[in-house]
Amino acid sequence: MTTMMLVGATGLVGQQVLQQALACEQVARVVAPTRRALPAHPRLHNPVVDFDHLPEDAAWWAVDAVVCALGTTIKVAGSQAAFYRVDHDLPLRVAQLALRHGAQAYALNSALGADPRSRVFYSRTKGELERDLQALGYRSLTLVRPGLIGGERHESRPAEQIGVRVSQWLGPLLPPRYRVVPAERIAHHLLRAALAAEPGCTVLPSEALV
């Protein structure tokens, strides 16, 4: 059985990962650090933390695998710098601390088009995170790259919502990589990757998720 860390547990994909992990017999315990307390569960350890000051020596860093579903938008973050911190710096810091305490596998919810050389800030940020995670030396690293994500979000993302509606309307006419991927499918692949812990770096493109 696996002890798993989940960061981003309150987001669209993270909520699905948490739900599936707590229902999975292979998962002994889920460690989910959040800013606000989550509903209690017998197999959930929920440290309430300040992500600006993560406790580096906390015993709960000692997990077998990590699933990262952290992510925001520039509009919500308020600036490119703030966005970069949430979508690059925090996932990387979590990866460093968990690896230091013995984690062997890391599964990241990245994005379609992630490329450290991209001229698009969003794609470049995702690509730089992927590059920097690969440099850490995890035994198992999985990069999941969905396109549009289907599901009900708490915060408003008008452009993404329009894109999802158009993609759902066009349906089978679109190439598989541009179709909407339900959040629960992304969560399924993230959880499966963390539990399988296949050696090396595995990239799952959007078309492999639907």
Contact between residue 122 and residue 160 where contact means Cβ atoms under 8 Å apart: no
Contact between residue 7 and residue 69 where contact means Cβ atoms under 8 Å apart: yes
Structure tokens at 65: 């695998």
Structure tokens at 150: 């289907």
Catalytic residue among 75, 122, 138, 178: 122
Could you give phi then psi for residue 14, rounded to 5 degrees?
Answer: -60, -40
Q: Each residue of 184-205: b (16+ CB within 10 Å) or e? A: bbbbebbbbbbbebeeeeeebe
Q: Is 122 an active-site residue? A: yes
List of residues 6+ apart from 106 with CB closer than 8 A: 65, 66, 68, 95, 98, 99, 133, 138, 140, 141, 142, 194
Catalytic residue among 84, 106, 126, 138: 126
Cα dihedral sign for 3, 8, 200, 185?
positive
Residues that are catalytic = 122, 126
